[in-house]
Amino acid sequence: MPQEEKLLDASGMDCARVILGLKKALVEINSGQILKVVATDPIAPKALEVFARQTRHILLKQAQNGTAFIFFVQKT
């Protein structure tokens, strides 16, 4: 697993709030650093893929642990 600089635990949040939290968390880290995001909304995997593509941040890794989705996003 990549080494994250910051963790965003968005468990229980709907997808729109996950993306909003992701945007805010990315502002708090430097370019090249990694944000770990944990979400439980089943739409989150697709939404984070689209977000990363549109914002040109890098989705390094995506995994699932039970009902939790885990993402590692590198800020560009």
Q: How far apart are CA 6 and CA 36, in angstroms?
A: 6
Model pTM? Answer: 0.93
Q: Is the pLDDT of residue 1 over 80?
A: no
Q: How far apart are CA 37 and CA 22, in angstroms?
A: 8
Domains detected in the chain: 6-74 (3.30.110.40)
- E strands, 1-67, are 6-10, 34-39, 58-65
Reported as a pLDDT band with limits 50, 70 and 90, residue 4 is confident
Q: Is the pLDDT of residue 15 over 80?
A: yes
Q: What is the pLDDT of residues 16-70, one digit of tens each?
A: 999 999 999 999 999 999 999 999 999 999 999 999 999 999 999 999 999 999 9
Considering the candidates 1, 3, 7, 15, report the single residue annotated as catalytic: 15
Question: What pLDDT is attached to residue 53?
Answer: 96
Question: What pLDDT is attached to residue 62?
Answer: 97
The reply to whether 15 belongs to the active site is yes
